[in-house]
Amino acid sequence: MARGIRADNYVAFNRSIIDLVKRISDYKHNMRELQATGKMRSLVWPLFFQHTAREADRFATRLDMYSRGSIEFDRTEVVDFWSKTMGEHSAFISHLLDPDEKLLISQANKLETSFRNENFRHVRGDHVMKAANEILDFKTVGEKGIYDGKIKPIISPTRLARAARGCQVHPRAQTNASRVESRDIMRTPA
Ligand SMILES: [Fe+2]
């Protein structure tokens, strides 16, 4: 299918993907509502449904932008999206650790608080980058600790590795957004 994408059909292709992604997002929102109101009893937190729906929505938005020929990042949007994502990942990790893992739980909670702090999102890049690197280190060390049997969680190391890949995207997206921002500043007439 991918080989069939051409300049004259990629918009329609993207449209079909966006429609599928929207269905996933609607499903997640629906599940969130059922879980939050006690109509469904599962082991999935309402926040996790909300989290994955937001990820799906952003993917659809970015794809729609590509279809319109726009690939630039907006720093405020990038920092907001990734900070929420990283903050929630930290919260999920905290709740998936053995209750005896006090130190790691408190580290995860601290990271969550940093990322979910609205003021933090408006600071300049260095602070955001520092926090992104901190959570990347935390997840990388966590993944190894779980594999080595030194950390007791109910999260699979594979899942943690996937979350760590998200952390690698955060600084990269942040850097790209900063580049766009500096370019825009340079374009702005004095
Ligand atoms: Fe996520």
Q: Over the stretch 135-167, which tens digit does the pLDDT of each residue have?
A: 888 888 888 888 888 888 887 777 776 666 666
Contacts of 21 (CB under 8 A, 6+ apart): 56, 57, 59, 60, 63
Query: Which position has the higher pLDDT, 124 or 114?
Result: 114
The C-alpha atoms of residue 163 and residue 186 are separated, in whole angstroms, by 35
pLDDT at 49 over 60: yes
CATH superfamily of 75-190: Protein of unknown function DUF2935 (1.20.1260.120)
Backbone angles phi, psi at 142, to 5 degrees: -60, -45
Q: Tokens 């943690």 belong to which residue?
A: 160
pLDDT at 183 over 50: no
- pTM as predicted: 0.79
Q: Give me ligand 1 centre to Cα 116, in Å.
A: 14
Q: Give me ligand 1 centre to Cα 103, in Å.
A: 23
78: tokens are 């990038």
**For 66, how many CA atoms within 13 A lie in the half-sphere containing its CB?**
15
In the chain, where the domains are located: 1-71, 75-190
Q: Give me ligand 1 centre to Cα 114, in Å.
A: 17
